[in-house]
Structure 1
Amino acid sequence: MNDYAISILLGIVEGLTEFLPVSSTAHLRLCKAPLGLDLHDPYWKMYDVVIQFGAVLAVVVYFRKRIADFLRSFPRGRDGSTNLLTHPLSMVLIASVVTAIPAYLLDKKIGENLENLRVIGGALLVGGILMWVIDRMFTRPVVNRLEDISYPQAIFIGAAQILAAAFPGTSRSMSTIAAGQISRLSRPAALEFSFFLSIPIMFAAFAYKLIQAVRGKGSGDQVLTMDAHRWGVLAVGFVVSFFVAWAVIAWFMAWVKRRGFVPFAIYRIILGIVVLAVAWKGA
């Protein structure tokens, strides 16, 4: 399979899984080995970051009117009920800061876990069980709008993201949605906050990882070299990821309003068992 075909495939995988609670990181890692890609190659490490950035831009485009409304109404809100510290944008920032520092400090450990199939399989399995239990238990939300999220809820949801960063396979989407439900957010509100929270986190991760890849940091001190072919492969993955993620976001928002997260939990449990079986067999 040539690099452009690989890029299309990985772009589709990223777009499909970035915002579904099934872990895009795990799926990209699981797809790369059969494709014969070097997991330590700084180019393919940067590739992951770039296509994730494409998926996050889809959030910005999909919620462009909502984001514009928040920016126009900052800090008092549409009805004057918020201030600089309680506006939804402030809540997103608070949750992001709670995540950012621990994630930065855990960067080396995150890289090690990304290559450990037992960690990925275990995180998929345990996360699936937790998601199933939480979706069944927390069925009486008290918060139905982003505008009503409180400090403790934002901090708790932000802290939950640390698990996703430390243990690939957990899923950033799963951890924030589940934390939102535990915090008594409705499914749509938890999902929407998860989408908004992805924007600053992924923008920061994109900048940080891109600098690392270009400078060779964390990649055996290999300095990344680029040519027209590599830029083309990167562009294809970025564009495919963007459009697939856009479609997934629209579908997922409609799905959650009518159904819960149990089907995704079941998928995670099955995939986790398969990954663990492969990992133990290859040990």
Structure 2
Amino acid sequence: MSIFEAIVLGIVQGLTEFLPVSSSGHLELAKAILGDTSMAEESMMMTVVLHFATALSTVVVFRKDILEILKGLFQFKWNEQTQFSLKIVLSMIPAALVGVFLNDQIEKFFGGAILLVGCMLLLTAVLLILADRAKNTEKNVGYKEAIIIGIAQAIAILPGISRSGATISTSVLLGIDRSKSARFSFLMVVPLIFGKIAKDILDGAFSSSFEVVPMAVGFVTAFVTGIIACTWMISLVKKAKLMWFSVWCAVVGSIAIIYTLIN
């Protein structure tokens, strides 16, 4: 993978992570367009590195929220911060189980499965349409809702299903306020990404066989782009009609399917 390709992938990840359009799906499409010939395992590793970069972007943007949660936890009381943290933990369980027990199977989907990406983008489009028609309320995320949203996040591991789109849409369909849905959606993924990186390091996944420089360049690009995009686009996700994102997913998904069928 060249430096240019790493920069392009970093920009794609940074821009699409915070919109309900599937960053992993767009990464796979970008890899295909760039002619990426890396092995599925290495392709998956690059995806994880870029997601780690945008997870750090999320930490930077939500630093006040995270510090408030940590302060509340160290009070060792059954307060609002402790309850919110428990809900985050509950939401992590489905994706963590999938990552631990189905990791090898998941890696196979990150090796240029463009037809799958196209179909999953169409599924994301349907989810966003349903969420767009749901009534907005001021309901908070409960424990049961946290688990259901977590299941949506686990399914969204598949490239083409937007993680934020699936979790925000699920939240909204459960009657949760869109602003609170977006906040929970962006914060719930941070521990998972950090856990994934820690597991890969312990397993020796980042060995010398991987191209360090392109990954480092992609990481920095995704991190910087992610901070800019997160700051600007979180407000957009909260206020804008999800229908527009649905249209984008439907168009890109259809193009991906047609491209696969004619080649």
Q: TM-score, normalised by structure 2?
A: 0.90
Give 3-state SS (helix, strand or coil) of 1:21's partner: coil
- State whether residues 76 and 82 of structure 1, in contact with CA within 8 Å, keep that contact through their aligned partners in structure 2: no
- State whether residues 72 and 81 of structure 2, in contact with CA within 8 Å, keep that contact through their aligned partners in structure 1: no
Any idea what the Cα deviations from partners look like across 1:86-143, whole Å, max 9, x if unmatched?
x11111111101321133323233223334222211110121022112211x123242
Gaps of 5+ in 2: none
Any idea what the Cα deviations from partners look like across 1:248-281, whole Å, max 9, x if unmatched?
1111222134322211111000111111111222
What residue identity is the alignment partner of 1:225?
S
- State whether residues 45 and 213 of structure 1, in contact with CA within 8 Å, keep that contact through their aligned partners in structure 2: no
2: CA distance, partners of 1:142 / 1:75: 28
Any idea what the Cα deviations from partners look like across 1:206-250, whole Å, max 9, x if unmatched?
2334556737xxxxxxx6425xxx433222211110011111111
Q: In the superposition, relative to structure 1, how do residues 211 and 42 fare at CA in structure 2: closer, same or farther (>3 Å)?
A: farther
* Structure 1 residue 33 displacement after superposition: 2.2
Among 141, 152, 169, the residue aligned to 2:160: 169
1:155 correspondence with 2:144? no
Give 3-state SS (helix, strand or coil) of 2:34's partner: coil
1: CA distance, partners of 2:40 / 2:253: 26
Any idea what the Cα deviations from partners look like across 1:8-55, whole Å, max 9, x if unmatched?
111101101122111111111111123232241654442222121111
- State whether residues 46 and 213 of structure 1, in contact with CA within 8 Å, keep that contact through their aligned partners in structure 2: no
1: CA distance, partners of 2:208 / 2:40: 9
List aligned pairs for 1:263-278, cutoff 5 A. Answer: 263-278=244-259
- State whether residues 24 and 160 of structure 2, in contact with CA within 8 Å, keep that contact through their aligned partners in structure 1: yes
- State whether residues 11 and 238 of structure 1, in contact with CA within 8 Å, keep that contact through their aligned partners in structure 2: yes
Give 3-state SS (helix, strand or coil) of 1:33's partner: helix
How many aligned positions are there? 262
Q: TM-score, normalised by structure 1?
A: 0.84
1:232 correspondence with 2:177? no
2: CA distance, partners of 1:141 / 1:47: 38
Give the structure 1 partner of residue 124 of structure 2: 127
- State whether residues 12 and 26 of structure 2, in contact with CA within 8 Å, keep that contact through their aligned partners in structure 1: yes
* Structure 1 residue 192 displacement after superposition: 0.7
Give the structure 2 partner of residue 112 of structure 1: 108
2: CA distance, partners of 1:73 / 1:51: 30
Any idea what the Cα deviations from partners look like across 1:61-93, whole Å, max 9, x if unmatched?
111111101111127799x75485xx1111111
* Structure 1 residue 57 displacement after superposition: 0.2
Give 3-state SS (helix, strand or coil) of 2:156's partner: helix
1: CA distance, partners of 2:124 / 2:149: 15
1:256 correspondence with 2:253? no
What is the aligned-residue RMSD (CA, Å)? 2.4
1: CA distance, partners of 2:253 / 2:124: 9
Give the structure 2 partner of residue 218 of structure 1: none
- State whether residues 164 and 171 of structure 1, in contact with CA within 8 Å, keep that contact through their aligned partners in structure 2: yes
Give 3-state SS (helix, strand or coil) of 1:20's partner: coil
1: CA distance, partners of 2:221 / 2:109: 27
2: CA distance, partners of 1:28 / 1:104: 23
Give 3-state SS (helix, strand or coil) of 2:95's partner: helix
What residue identity is the alignment partner of 1:59?
T
Q: In the superposition, relative to structure 1, how do residues 133 and 42 fare at CA in structure 2: closer, same or farther (>3 Å)?
A: closer
Gaps of 5+ in 1: 216-222
- State whether residues 60 and 199 of structure 1, in contact with CA within 8 Å, keep that contact through their aligned partners in structure 2: yes
What residue identity is the alignment partner of 1:248?
A
Any idea what the Cα deviations from partners look like across 1:154-191, whole Å, max 9, x if unmatched?
011001112112x3201211111111111211111111
